[in-house]
A = this chain, B = another copy of it.
Amino acid sequence: MPRVCVIPGDGIGQEVIPAAVRVLQAAVPGLETIQAEAGWGCFLERGTAVPPETLAAIRECGAALFGAVSSPAKKVAGYRSAILTLRQELDLYANLRPVRSLPRVSPRGGIDLLVVRENTEGLYVGRERLEDGGETAIAERVITRRASRRLAERALALMHGAGRRRLTIVHKANVLPLTDGLFRDTVREAVVRATRAGQAVEVEELLVDVAALKLASEPERFDVIITTNLFGDILSDEASSWCGGLGLAPSINLGEGVALAEPVHGSAPDIAGQGIANPIAAILSAALLARHAWSMEDSARRIEQAVERALEDGLPHGTEAITRSVTGNLCVGEN
């Protein structure tokens, strides 16, 4: 029986995650849940943003649904964003961010793309230093063949499973020939191996600036985008404007035998506690968990279709009403 570690976190995470769990339980009968803590509130109470029990619970379940965490306005000693710690500790090396046109809320139809973002290295390695008495700051951007390779292999396996054929490698190798050259060449080699093994893949490359423009002007042209950590961060946020904004954008972080789904949005302290947060991004993230953690494609589709029907009906106001509309449409799907 599948189990999920539920980590609402801070702010609206406390509202949208319980909503998503209700939908997930309706779509995956018998699902067990374990509650766990993480985030800024947890740091204030317990002195750590990610307690060891939380890590242990996620590892045990192999699957987690994470809400959002707040960060202090000023740097606080010992505090690091919980999501970065989770990605690192659990070695969640691939971040999937699908963007699809959704009824009524998307500015355009016909978009169905997936950003596959490297999730462990690049500028996220935390290697920064000061020089010249603080006049100069230097950050290291680290790209390894190993991380690029496992990312590419995961992306290709996913494409195979989903019938996706077109892969766009996004990099800036004209300015960063060694780091982005390594990334690009490693992905290309994985594509060659997959092609030899019989998979049909069309591969192309785009410079990250050109990709940002094309994502704004011709989003329909994209199928799967594979890129390094920070480029993926930027491009997936940009792309999420096409599904109707962050309130509707799901994501999932994948490691080996462990997956953590999270809405792309943050903890939105300005609207927290009012029951008005949109739970759709969290619900769609729960669907990604069904698909990628438990290979329950049917349950994933049922959740996604219920969301689409709810959007077609016109979303009511408030977290509770939206959740009821989605669960109601889930039942419709059962006949």
Contact = CB atoms under 8 A, between A and B. Distances in A.
Contacts of A245: 213, 217
Interface in A191-236: 208-210, 212-213, 215-217, 230-231, 233-236
Interface of A: 71, 75, 81, 84, 123-124, 128-130, 132, 134-146, 172, 174-179, 181-182, 208-210, 212-213, 215-217, 230-231, 233-238, 240-242, 245-246
Nearest to A212: B238
Contact of A138 (B140, B208, B209): B140
Contacts of A143: 136-139
Chain A interface mostly:
helix
Nearest to A130: B178
A48 to B, nearest CB: 18
Contacts of A238: 212-213, 215-216, 238
Residue among A123, A134, A215, A242 with most chain B CB within 10 A: A123
Rank and list the top 5 A-B pairs by shortest CB-CB distance, nearest first. A216-B241, A128-B178, A209-B237, A212-B238, A137-B179
B234 A178 contact: no
Nearest to A172: B230
A66 B56 CA distance: 59
Contacts of A134: 145, 182
Contacts of A128: 176-179
Contacts of A137: 142-144, 178-179, 181-182
Contacts of A235: 212
Contacts of A176: 123, 128, 139
